[in-house]
Amino acid sequence: MSNHCPADLAAFWKSTLDRARAQPLEIQIEKMPLRLPYHVHRLTYRSLGGIPVRAYLSLPIQVASESRPPRRLPAIVAPPGYGGWEFSEQLNECQRGYAVLQVYPRSQGESGEVWRIEGPLAGHWIQNGKERPEGYYYQGALMDVIRGVDYLRGRADIDPERIGLMGTSQAGMLVLGAAALDPSVRAVTAHVSAMCALRQNPGHTTFDLGCDATLLDTWDYFDPLHLASRIQVPTLMSSGGKDTICPADTIRAVFDRLSGIKALIHYPDLIHTACNDFYAQRWQWMDRFL
């Protein structure tokens, strides 16, 4: 497998992180008036370039007393799939004893209500800004996830040493990238991660990718294949034997470059879709490592 890892990869991401974290979050929080056995808050915060991002935070109800104050919660940060709405991690799962933060990356899902990409590339995330890595869509999208982690670390009710990332498909790619760039993250689960080892994906012309040399050169800065060696925390991944969108060997290529505690579950008959077995095992992973 040839190596197209950019020579300035580390410098590019250091500069990006510095600029993203120099932008004040300007957080807006609204508690949702929902009759549920847990709390839900709608958040809006600013990310790289000052672009607003929408997120939802759910918290379990804790019973406190003078002798037993509320404990600081572990937290899960979860982006959606490529359609912008598809979360495999649901807000009601906070009842497992976690805070759950669903982040809509810029222009996706509800973030499209506060800032939207217009024109022919609207919704075609991987094509947006592909001419160069600076200003490319996923540069901002990754920062949107990481700034969500930053927000949680600053909350008094969240344990900053126990924040994990979960995601499926596009979200799997995003959480792998975020874990590589933010060492404060403590555990990761990524189901059938999208756009891994993209140069080696024979189906890269499907699923809106339409890869050409320009896109591939830019994607090298974002491909989990080139970021995986920076992930030092326990990472659980999956692949499907009948997945033609994210073939198993592209996911395996990323997995092989992970240097910490890791596990890969391969489902021989799985296409590019959800998997109840993996979704159960990911919570066991977080229970163990967060």
What is the CATH number for 238? 3.40.50.1820
Burial of 26 (0-12, 13-18, 19+ CB in 10 A): exposed
The C-alpha atoms of residue 48 and residue 145 are separated, in whole angstroms, by: 11
Please state the domain count of the chain. 1
81 belongs to a structural domain: yes
279 belongs to a structural domain: yes
Regarding beta strands 187-191 and 235-240, do their DSSP bridges make them parallel or antiparallel, or are they unpaired?
parallel
pLDDT in the model for residue 68 = 64
What are the φ/ψ torsions at residue 184 (nearest 5 degrees)?
-75, -20
184 belongs to a structural domain: yes
How would you write the pLDDT of the chain (290 residues) with one tens digit per residue?
457 999 999 999 999 999 999 999 999 999 999 999 999 999 999 999 999 999 999 999 986 655 666 789 999 999 999 999 999 999 999 999 999 999 999 999 999 999 999 998 888 999 999 999 999 999 999 999 999 999 999 999 999 999 999 999 999 999 999 999 999 999 999 999 999 999 998 765 554 556 788 999 999 999 999 999 999 999 999 999 999 999 999 999 999 999 999 999 999 999 999 999 999 999 999 999 99
pLDDT in the model for residue 211 = 74
CA distances in angstroms from 124 to 83, 106, 110, listed in the order given: 9, 13, 16
* pTM of the entire predicted model: 0.95
Regarding beta strands 158-168 and 73-78, do their DSSP bridges make them parallel or antiparallel, or are they unpaired?
parallel
3-state SS track over the chain: CCCCCCCCHHHHHHHHHHHHHHCCCCCEEEECCCCCCEEEEEEEEECHHHCEEEEEEEEECCCCCCCCCCCCEEEEEECCCCCCCCCCCCHHHHHHCCEEEEEECCCCHHHHHCCCCCCCCCCCHHHCCCCCCCCCHHHHHHHHHHHHHHHHHCCCCEEEEEEEEEEECHHHHHHHHHHHHCCCCCEEEEECCCCCCHHHCCCCCCCCCCCCHHHHHHHCCCCHHHHHHHCCCCEEEEEECCCCCCCHHHHHHHHCCCCCCEEEEEECCCCCCCCHHHHHHHHHHHHHHC
5 belongs to a structural domain: no
| CB neighbour list of residue 92: distance below 8 Å, 6 or more residues apart | 36, 38, 58
Domain that holds residue 258: 24-60+71-289
Q: Residue 124: CA atoms inside 13 Å, Cβ hemisphere, count?
A: 15
